[in-house]
Amino acid sequence: MTSILPWSHCNNEWNTDNCLDNSRHNASFSNVSKEANWSMNTNLTKMTPSEEYWKYNVLQITSGIEDLGGIRLELLACLFAAWVLVFLCLFNGIKSSGKIVYVTVTFPYIVLIIFLVRAVTLPGAIEGIKFFIIPKWHNLLSTKVWGEAAVQIFFSSGAGWGAILTMASFNKFHHNMYRDAIIVPAINSGTSIFAGFVTFSILGFMAHEKGMAVEDVLTQGPGLVFMAYPEAISRLPVSPLWAILFFLMMLTIAIDTQFGTFETITSALTDEFPKLLRKKKMLVTAGVCFLGFLLDIPLIMQGGMYILQIVDWYCGLFTPMLVAVIECIVIGWIYGTEQFYKDIEMMIGYTPCTGWKICWKFITPVVILVTMIGYKPCTVWKICWKFITPVVILVMLVFNMTQLQPVSYNHYQYPSYAIVIGWVIGMVSVAPIPLYMIKAIACAEGSLQQRIGCLLRPISEWEPVLRNEKNRMETCTLTYFKPTEVDKCELNSTKNTDEIQNIL
């Protein structure tokens, strides 16, 4: 909140001799004698003012994970304020967040439009846009490109993270989820393309200012947000205004992302222990916020960036893909595509058709086209659920695991024990799946084979019951009728689980 942004120059106390200021960079050497026999090393490691501001003032980063340093008090205060804001937005569950999301979703689009209008008028913006939209066809032959594209889809769409399922559970029973399954990915892809125009317009401007190629100013990871963007903003007229808009946009995006993740945790707890926690939603929200605050403290230490990189490297890559594979197997082979198809018919109100036998590579465009013109869902979804989707995701998962390089941050290489810790953290994030399976088998009755056989069968008789609940809006629950022999172990398992919950 100053007239001159602190990351726009090299005259701050945290700046080093390696800070690359524009005034220093454009120094004149015209008076140097031709006869002088000397050479200047142009390979010195230089950093922009925004890079030094991020590393030496905000993070005060240490040399490696071996030295975590102390807690950054300024970041601790920001972390506490962020979790308080999350609590205030979510203390009343979906009722409060559903209203706030109108602001957190629309504001980033407004800011992006403003940035785009300004960015395309900057010198060099056209070169950045050309770099963005002109394809490099030879990259399509790189397996690494396809692997990273698959990972990006999981990140941007939220598939496998649980937030989509959690938020969908609050919809009305007859909500057209088939339509949403097409619209949401389409909007997600459109937003990514739109944001790409903004990003590469600014990167083109930066390249023009520095006299470099666009590809030479590209950075990855947090650096693009906290170093490249602030540097570009510092070069704009009325830069404090643009900085305020940019970081407000980042705050709303972060809060909006947190809504889904946070609601997934609280809903899982209240649904698993409804008698104990359902009526104590505010206390559950406060408890999860406090726990999240405590778990985040190591990340705001001086060496916290190294920990964040480990978590992102090993959890963000494999966990959602593995969960997605398991979900497809459960729906396609255990619950059954036929039963799942009947459920969709019951929800959306019309009978799915039996058309189209098409190749996998044509599924997505054809389904989108058919949805746009109003046709009904078809059997192609069954093929996807049961065969194509789990196989494709599994191939991507195996490919990314085989191509995975040891975690690194910039030029820093992590020690072996840090890599082991990363794999442990990644496995812990998916550990509840096998643990819950073990719990279900232990609670069932009969021999081991009978228990597993019964637990892998869906309940044969059920119907939806619509209820108006105060905490969950209008939801669908399962009602059981005259149990068959097949269902006995399931009922015994449910009975034993209820006994455990009553004890708790």
pLDDT digits (tens, 9 = 90+) for 158-172: 777 888 888 888 888
Instruction: Determine whether the annotation assigns residue 92 to a binding site.
Output: no
Residues 200 and 286 in one domain: yes
Asked whether 105 and 256 are in contact (CB, 8 A), the reply is: yes
State what percent of residues in the chain have pLDDT above 90.
16
Q: Is residue 427 a part of any domain in this protein?
A: no
Query: Which of these ranges, 10-24, 246-260, 384-398, has the smallest mean pLDDT?
Result: 384-398
Query: Which of these ranges, 51-60, 79-88, 147-156, has the smallest mean pLDDT?
Result: 147-156
Indicate the helix (H) or strand (E) that contains 475. Answer: strand 473-478
CA-nearest of 242, 254, 283 to 79 is 254
Residues 337 and 485 in one domain: no
The CB density around residue 342, as the number of other CB atoms within 10 Å, is: 13
Whether 494 shows a pLDDT value over 70: the answer reads no
Q: What integer best gives the mean pLDDT of the chain?
A: 76
pLDDT tier at 481, thresholds 50, 70, 90: very low
CA distance 482 to 459: 11
Query: Which of these ranges, 81-95, 117-131, 218-232, 439-453, has the smallest mean pLDDT?
Result: 218-232
pLDDT tier at 1, thresholds 50, 70, 90: low
Domain count, the chain: 4
Domain with 410, as residue range(s), is 303-414
* DSSP-assigned beta bridge partners for residue 19: 47
Mean pLDDT of 108-121: 89
> Which is higher by pLDDT, 485 or 381?
381
Q: At 19, is the secondary structure helix, strand, or coil?
A: strand
Picking from 245, 275, 302, the residue at the C-terminal end of a domain is 302
pLDDT at residue 465, rounded to an integer: 55
Amino acid in position 277: L
Q: For residue 192, what are the contacts with CB-CB under 8 A and spacing of at least 6?
A: 156
> Which is higher by pLDDT, 212 or 93?
212
Residues 21 and 125 in one domain: no
pLDDT tier at 458, thresholds 50, 70, 90: low
Instruction: Determine whether the annotation assigns residue 37 to a binding site.
Output: no
pLDDT at residue 501, rounded to an integer: 45
Q: Which residue has the tokens 């794999």?
A: 423
Phi, psi angles (nearest 5°) of residue 407:
-60, 145
pLDDT at residue 405, rounded to an integer: 76
Burial class for 365, CB neighbours closer than 10 Å (0-12, 13-18, 19+): exposed
Q: For residue 205, what are the contacts with CB-CB under 8 A and spacing of at least 6?
A: 119, 122, 123, 124, 125, 128, 232, 235
pLDDT at residue 307, rounded to an integer: 92
Asked whether 313 and 407 are in contact (CB, 8 A), the reply is: yes
Whether 293 shows a pLDDT value over 90: the answer reads yes
Q: Is residue 116 a part of any domain in this protein?
A: yes
Residues 99 and 198 in one domain: yes
CA 104 to chain centre: 16
Residues 215 and 346 in one domain: no
Mean pLDDT of 466-488: 40
Q: At 67, is the secondary structure helix, strand, or coil?
A: coil
> Which is higher by pLDDT, 497 or 215?
215
Instruction: Determine whether the annotation assigns residue 312 to a binding site.
Output: no
pLDDT at residue 29, rounded to an integer: 38
Picking from 284, 302, 320, the residue at the C-terminal end of a domain is 302
Picking from 414, 448, 483, the residue at the C-terminal end of a domain is 414
Q: At 291, is the secondary structure helix, strand, or coil?
A: helix
Instruction: Tell if the pTM clears 0.85, that is, is over it.
Output: no
132 is written with which tokens?
């963005």
Residues 217 and 130 in one domain: yes
Q: Is residue 421 a part of any domain in this protein?
A: no
CA distance 234 to 5: 7
Q: DSSP character for 137?
A: G
At 212-269, the pLDDT tens digits run: 888 887 766 666 788 878 888 887 888 898 899 999 999 998 888 888 888 888 888 8
